[in-house]
Structure 1
């Protein structure tokens, strides 16, 4: 089963998604036209009855990835994942260096300005790196709502509750979930903090357990600083007593890591509350239980399926729609450091000369296929009559073991994209990456 295609009627109102085969037939017979590419949506050119069913949207919000899912009547109609940009802060820092260096070189008097201070900006101001991620979370939810008829919206706003970390005894109307919710909240906090990686053998995935660094029998507590993530291979009776686990806990008595991700989710949660007051919100502690009941593996798109409140799955796509934003321009006026392949910085080249957007009919971010092979990817840069090609995961696709470049004459263009890369991949390929 493949992901469904979103459909709009000729008046611009959303209809039920259809199968890809039906969409191809409608486009072939000129009964529909392509309306959007992210997500792929067609618009009918003739009248339709507009029969609709109950639909639910599941959103696994986050600072690195967004899980998307659309379910209806025990069926998963669409599942996907959006990878957000993580380079905004570094790019802004680089721009700041260029600006200050330029001002130091040109020492003319600059009149003081007081209206561009952060403290004078509006109350809803966010730093550009945070604002970028928050806006993408909100915009992708709006994209799904715009192509679906009156869907119920379910959003996960964090893996754990920060308020629970401050007061483990909190209860009442805020939770009404009992002791199990508290246990799952702390557990999800530790798993997210350790990036779902065993802290002893550094292996990711598999069966993970929560281990006390200082045993409770020796006065240890259930606080997050006394808990670590370990895999089932390391979490054995022998390792508890004299093995590698006991040695690791002896060397490291507590775990202190940045809670930057949790802070971002607190910011995002408030923005989502304001943007979608009609949505149903939940924490990752309950998502874990729902995903276990559905017998789904851990992933962002499977989390979104569980969040959508589906109780039983009769049909589910075997592929995932992956979205990733592509940056097409290098905006710096000059280079502060030499690029790879150059001994000195290229300070004489103009901005446009360093931004080759097209060559011989191919454009940046075009979806291409290497002839006489099954390799498909996106053009990430040009080098005279050749180019660099990457897949949706950022891996280079080449024709030889020696060079990363691929000649443009060996390519066939499959589709033209602008700033978003989109690719439908198999679940096995997703797990490998």
Structure 2
């Protein structure tokens, strides 16, 4: 669905792409943004329109976050009189973070500094790490996940009539999972329809959604004790893994050392991976409350839900696994609610940054080797702008759309199928200024 604004820039209810094309062809609308695509109606004001409002549903992740725009409505069966609630997915965005890239860059900077100190060069002496940090400080790679999610929700709030926000609090509680199941009172994981969903979700992420003993994927997996209960094994999460039904039955009550005696490499991997924590879980636990507080500051009602609830909703609705479909299933879905529409195309927004403050490039030892121009915009374009290039002649003759890389000479570089092409800035037309994201689309297979 296409975001629609009135003549004063206030968000209206989104419309179908065919209707948006009709408005543009008739001259009644103008394009506001290319990604996410939004139009502004020239002859419509908010007071003359019915706006029921939409909800933003967020499935936060360590490497990617799913965001879905939904609208709920009641449907009355004319024959039986039964009332059902239909949830429609109007728009879906998969936000890809660059926390790993930020962490790698800061680690490289630290290595450069460490090397210059140890080489006895003319450089400042090492300092003790006694500099104070503000309350609630997060590492830059973690703060980036919060900032990009809040930035995208703020942008969607300007394009869609958002009335509420639903966010998945965390996929699993690592503190609770580290305890024996008997220690828990049973309220969290053993009672009701959500029993076992938190543990299973944790194990699926930790073991890569594959059988730990044979590596089989895309089949039903069972929770299995590495050290059998009959031989003193416990229900701690470090003693649980996932196995397919044949492996689970073949292992039975054998110790894992006997069952994998002929596969020493796999045995070593299983034992080491069982003790290793899930790094993504630590990242999500560190940022979940910061994200919640940031969403509260937007002035909208914010509702939090558990990951077990999300997976239960997705399973009962028959949806496949993806960040955007998880976001669509965030929230309360009772027996009378049906998800009747899923976006067939997902907008993938990959965080790529807005360039670097450093105006030099370094060699392998950390010393500057290349100086960059202080000016970032040349001939009206900056690196990262979305442009449409019309090359009139030559080997690369044609029309292309993509993000441009600028040069001071005026010969800019644009992506084409299979590589890149250089063309004059006169052949480029600006579609959207660079905002720190690279936009692509992918097909969503909901399997409803």
Assess same fold via TM > 0.5: yes
Tell me the secondary structure at the aligned position of residue 338 of structure 2.
coil
Q: Is the 8 A contact 1:153 1:280 kept in 2?
A: yes
Residue 8 of structure 2 corresponds to residue 11 of structure 1: yes
Quick one: distance in 2 between partners of 1:407 and 1:14?
Answer: 38
Quick one: distance in 2 between partners of 1:374 and 1:284?
Answer: 45
Equivalent residue for 1:318?
A: 344
Partner of residue 333 from structure 1, selected from 360, 364, 372: 360
Quick one: distance in 2 between partners of 1:98 and 1:34?
Answer: 46
Equivalent residue for 1:220?
A: 233
Go from structure 1 to structure 2 and tell me whether the alpha carbon gap of 1:33 and 1:100 turns closer, same or farther (over 3 Å shift): farther
Quick one: distance in 1 between partners of 2:307 and 2:25?
Answer: 43
Q: Is the 8 A contact 1:60 1:156 kept in 2?
A: yes
Instruction: Map 1:12-411 onto structure 2 (within 5 A).
Output: 12-48=9-45, 49-72=48-71, 73=73, 74=86, 75-85=88-98, 86-99=100-113, 107=122, 118-119=131-132, 121-167=133-179, 168=181, 169-171=183-185, 175=188, 178=191, 181-202=194-215, 204-231=217-244, 235=247, 237-238=249-250, 246-247=259-260, 252-253=270-271, 255-277=274-296, 278-309=301-332, 311-327=337-353, 329=355, 331=358, 333-337=360-364, 348-352=369-373, 364=384, 366=386, 389=415, 397-398=417-418, 405-408=419-422
Quote the offset at 1:91 in angstroms.
1.1
* Worse overlay, 185-194 or 290-299: 185-194
Structure with a larger share of its residues in strand: 2
Quick one: distance in 1 between partners of 2:415 and 2:202?
Answer: 38
Quote the offset at 1:296 in angstroms.
0.4
Go from structure 1 to structure 2 and tell me whether the alpha carbon gap of 1:289 and 1:131 turns closer, same or farther (over 3 Å shift): same
Q: Deviations over 1:233-266 (max 9, x none)?
A: x645346589999316865456112333222222
**How many correspondences in the alignment?**
402
Q: Deviations over 1:239-298 (max 9, x none)?
A: 658999931686545611233322222222211332334322112111111001110001
Unaligned runs of 5+ residues in structure 2 are 74-85
Quote the offset at 1:81 in angstroms.
0.7
* Worse overlay, 364-373 or 42-51: 364-373
Tell me the secondary structure at the aligned position of residue 313 of structure 1.
strand
Go from structure 1 to structure 2 and tell me whether the alpha carbon gap of 1:282 and 1:28 turns closer, same or farther (over 3 Å shift): same
Quick one: distance in 2 between partners of 1:38 and 1:235?
Answer: 47
Quote the offset at 1:303 in angstroms.
0.3
| TM value normalised by structure 1 | 0.76
Unaligned runs of 5+ residues in structure 1 are 339-344, 391-396, 399-404
Quick one: distance in 1 between partners of 2:144 and 2:232?
Answer: 44
Quick one: distance in 2 between partners of 1:235 and 1:253?
Answer: 17
Quick one: distance in 1 between partners of 2:283 and 2:383?
Answer: 35
Quote the offset at 1:306 in angstroms.
0.7
Quote the offset at 1:132 in angstroms.
0.8
Q: Deviations over 1:116-143 (max 9, x none)?
A: 9542x32122121111112112222333
